Amino acid sequence: MVKIAKILFPVAVPEPFDYAIPAGMKLAAGDFVYAPLGRQGKLGVVWGFGERENLDKLKQISERKPCRPLNPEILKFINFTAKYNCALQGLVLRMVLRSHKALEPSPDVTLYQPTGEPPPGLNPARKRVLGLADIWPDIWPARAGEIAKAAKTSASVINTMAKAGLLKKFTAPLDPPFDLPDPNQAGRDFVLTPRQISAGEELQVLVRQRAFNVALLDGVTGSGKTEVYLEAAAQGLRAGGQVLILVPEIALTQAGLKRFEERFGAEPAQWHSAMGDAARRRVWREVHMGRARLVVGARSALFLPFADLQLIVVDEEHDGSYKQDEGVIYNARDMAVVRGKMAGAAVVLASVTPSLESLTNARNGRYAHVILPERPGAATMPEVALVDLKDHKPEVGRFLSQPLIDGVMQALKRGEQAMLYLNRRGYAPLIICRACGERLKSPDTDSWLVQHKRSGRAICHHTGLSMPMPSACLECKTEGALTAVGPGVERVAEEAALLFADARIEVLSSDTAGNPGAIRARMAAMAAGDIDILVGTQMVVKGHNFPHLTFVGVVDGDLSLGGGDLRAGERTYQTLVQVAGRAGRADKPGRALIQTHMPDHEALAALAAGDREGFIAAELGMREILGLPPFGKLAAIIISAPDARKANAFAQKTLNAAPRADGIEILGPSEAPMAILRGRHRRRLLIKADPNINLSAYMHIWKSRLRPPHKTKLAIDIDPQGFM
């Protein structure tokens, strides 16, 4: 028998392939190698070893890359993630291997730095170079090219300045290591309350155990959860390990990061989907080598190759954005717990409104439950009330009721700020023709086009399709008959401007402040009191404290209740608790008013009554009766095809291929609520399973029986969060 190696490649393959090992090549699991795949040599990872009678037709590994291998814990994590989510192993590996260049050491670059104060009598070019810090404070040290460009001169000037002793020339790594966070500095200008200290200690004990365990950090908005989990992070850092803090993508603002930096006196390594190659390479390498000690990132940071992970914090653990729905479908919150288990690390799930799944785990003792019941000091919780729109109808064509208008007015009179929340981008969600009644529809998708007045466009929010706002109806061609129906944030801001003519009003949504810089600027302006009324979407909910904000008006409390999503009530409750929690900080009490047509809906009634327990009990009761999570398991199959006939045929075939098993119930196939997306026809099946069933394994067997025809796709979603 001869020993062979199993190599996994970061491409769409279900498992590793066998390769012959060249004589004399020493290999271990996790090693990076080049091996022929198709016609090319490709970078892969040694997944394990096997034996064969002979090496007939077996291709041979070409080269072992002399770099630190992936550790066994991440190999296990990849295997588990693929198996649990019925995903291809190769695609999960691809989520880990985000930068091939990071496998090489950082190249060196030549840098320059001024040696002292500029001497008198310099020529203009030299003067400009030495004065650069006045216009660009953190320019030094810099590369010759950068300096020359910034000072509008040539690289030869830099060179002669170095020779003349005006600039110091030295070499340094292109990707410098991150500064070491200092867990022992205080890093804040207030003292923790006794309750915060004891909560921090509870978490520190868990980190100190150096073993897998999970804690749910459950505290009201503003109770100091961040401060408390930073204490746990300090423990991990003190022990010399690495700490990962996951935050919803939207919360990765500069202001949020500043907080971590202040606590430990060093900027954390950041990781998110919109990073450039250079930053990606640097973070990946530093994490892999164990030198980046504190990483703050969006969900994909979970797949970084940590060398010594001691703590994972999942902030806002209930947040829907932890569910990744493209490519490999996974829930980063759940996979964080798995990662913690593989690494023997502590996991802290933090939230104001924990998911019912995590709460159940905490209550039955699987997770430690650390509770922060109050805000520190004099700060009180905001008063929340509902405005029944049946009793308080806004004027025709308007969307703000009198109580909301009064609320804003009172806040402004006191010199404080107000926020109007509506999770809908643009001006109006529907565009209707008054002449023929047609609605402007997305051409290839089951959704309506949304009017965006500022940009003068009609946009599909599901596919991004965007066209100039037509002047005539596309059906009956009547000019000037298209009418906006319903409100988006732009329209609410327009109404607010009519009502509060002197107020400084800004809109914050991904359209109005698309890039991180613009978002940062607007958040900072709000925090500094330079905005009176902020009208915003989901974006305003997280990541920033506004000390002068005392009134929050929710324009449409019912918005997320429709849509047949089993978590609609829970999600509405979670979002509105967070939105309302923005009102009032420190010594200023806050108030939130929620406009609704359904004041009796459980989620809304519980909000107004401040009855979290009542809401949880009712919601859990309902789920228990229906056998839904956490009392049962769910999976979905989504089939899509270029035409309806093909979609129906394969959906039926899929159903017929379902393995027989007790404790499994299959609903569908049926048309997906969004039956056509980007021209593809979609069908769904929903699978309900008893809690003791290994649903992933069941789905795996089912999937193995299916071969989708050309252009037909099948996706499996374990524990679906969306049902569109």
The residues facing 617 across adjacent strands are none
In terms of CB distance, is 577 or 647 closer to ligand ADP?
577
In terms of CB distance, is 288 or 542 closer to ligand ADP?
542
- Residue 189 Cβ, how far from ligand ADP at the closest point, in Å? 9
Site membership for ligand ADP, residue 221 (CB under 6 A): yes
The answer to whether 687 and 635 are in contact (CB under 8 A) is yes
Residue 518 has phi, psi (to 5 degrees) of: -70, -40
- Residue 526 Cβ, how far from ligand ADP at the closest point, in Å? 14
User: If 0-12 CB within 10 Å is exposed, 13-18 middle and 19+ buried, where does residue 178 land?
Assistant: buried
| CB-based contacts of 269, cutoff 8 Å, min separation 6 | 178, 283, 286, 287, 292, 294, 295, 296, 297
Instruction: Measure the CA–CA gap between 472 and 466, rounded to whole angstroms.
Output: 16
- Residue 268 Cβ, how far from ligand ADP at the closest point, in Å? 16
- Residue 314 Cβ, how far from ligand ADP at the closest point, in Å? 13
Among positions 362-381, residues that touch ligand ADP (CB under 6 A) are 376-377
Instruction: Measure the CA–CA gap between 175 and 194, rounded to whole angstroms.
Output: 42
- Residue 225 Cβ, how far from ligand ADP at the closest point, in Å? 3
Q: Check residue 197 and report its DSSP letter.
A: H
**Binding span for ligand ADP by CB under 6 A among 129-137, 190-198, 363-371, 527-535:** 190-198
In terms of CB distance, is 1 or 378 closer to ligand ADP?
378
Instruction: Measure the CA–CA gap between 611 and 405, rounded to whole angstroms.
Output: 26
Instruction: Measure the CA–CA gap between 264 and 184, rounded to whole angstroms.
Output: 8
Could you tell me where the beta strands, DSSP code E, fall in 149-246? 167-173, 213-219, 242-246
With CB under 6 A as the contact rule, the residue among 81, 89, 153, 196 that binds ligand ADP is 196
Among positions 606-645, residues that touch ligand ADP (CB under 6 A) are none
The answer to whether 125 and 150 are in contact (CB under 8 A) is no
In terms of CB distance, is 43 or 379 closer to ligand ADP?
379
Helices and strands (H, E) in the chain, number of each type: 20, 31
Q: Give CA separation, 490 vs 399, 420, 455, 494, 534, in Å.
A: 12, 11, 11, 6, 11
How many residues bind ligand ADP (CB under 6 A)? The answer is 15
With CB under 6 A as the contact rule, the residue among 71, 85, 223, 300 that binds ligand ADP is 223
User: If 0-12 CB within 10 Å is exposed, 13-18 middle and 19+ buried, where does residue 43 land?
Assistant: middle
- Residue 369 Cβ, how far from ligand ADP at the closest point, in Å? 16
Instruction: Measure the CA–CA gap between 378 and 40, rounded to whole angstroms.
Output: 66
Tell how strand 323-324 and strand 664-677 pair up.
unpaired
In terms of CB distance, is 315 or 558 closer to ligand ADP?
315
In terms of CB distance, is 192 or 412 closer to ligand ADP?
192
The answer to whether 547 and 527 are in contact (CB under 8 A) is yes
**Binding span for ligand ADP by CB under 6 A among 185-193, 322-330, 621-629, 665-673:** 185-193
With CB under 6 A as the contact rule, the residue among 226, 300, 423, 538 that binds ligand ADP is 226
With CB under 6 A as the contact rule, the residue among 13, 122, 192, 368 that binds ligand ADP is 192
Among positions 282-321, residues that touch ligand ADP (CB under 6 A) are none
In terms of CB distance, is 534 or 724 closer to ligand ADP?
534
- Residue 329 Cβ, how far from ligand ADP at the closest point, in Å? 29
Instruction: Measure the CA–CA gap between 718 and 720, rounded to whole angstroms.
Output: 6
- For residue 138, give both structure tokens: 């953190």
DSSP-H helix ranges across 245-386 = 254-264, 277-288, 332-343, 356-363
**Binding span for ligand ADP by CB under 6 A among 173-181, 224-232, 238-246, 319-327:** 224-232
- Residue 191 Cβ, how far from ligand ADP at the closest point, in Å? 6
DSSP one-letter string for 614-637: HHHHHHHHHHHHHT-TTSSEEEEE
**Binding span for ligand ADP by CB under 6 A among 20-28, 225-233, 529-537, 692-700:** 225-233
Site membership for ligand ADP, residue 197 (CB under 6 A): no
In terms of CB distance, is 222 or 236 closer to ligand ADP?
222
**Binding span for ligand ADP by CB under 6 A among 153-161, 187-195, 446-454, 637-645:** 187-195
Instruction: Measure the CA–CA gap between 482 and 437, rounded to whole angstroms.
Output: 9
In terms of CB distance, is 131 or 376 closer to ligand ADP?
376
With CB under 6 A as the contact rule, the residue among 190, 510, 614, 691 that binds ligand ADP is 190
Site membership for ligand ADP, residue 227 (CB under 6 A): yes
Among positions 200-219, residues that touch ligand ADP (CB under 6 A) are 219
- Residue 470 Cβ, how far from ligand ADP at the closest point, in Å? 45
Instruction: Measure the CA–CA gap between 438 and 472, rounded to whole angstroms.
Output: 12
- Residue 196 Cβ, how far from ligand ADP at the closest point, in Å? 6
Among positions 538-597, residues that touch ligand ADP (CB under 6 A) are 545
Applying CB under 6 A, the residues found at the interface with ligand ADP are 190, 192-193, 196, 219, 221-227, 376-377, 545
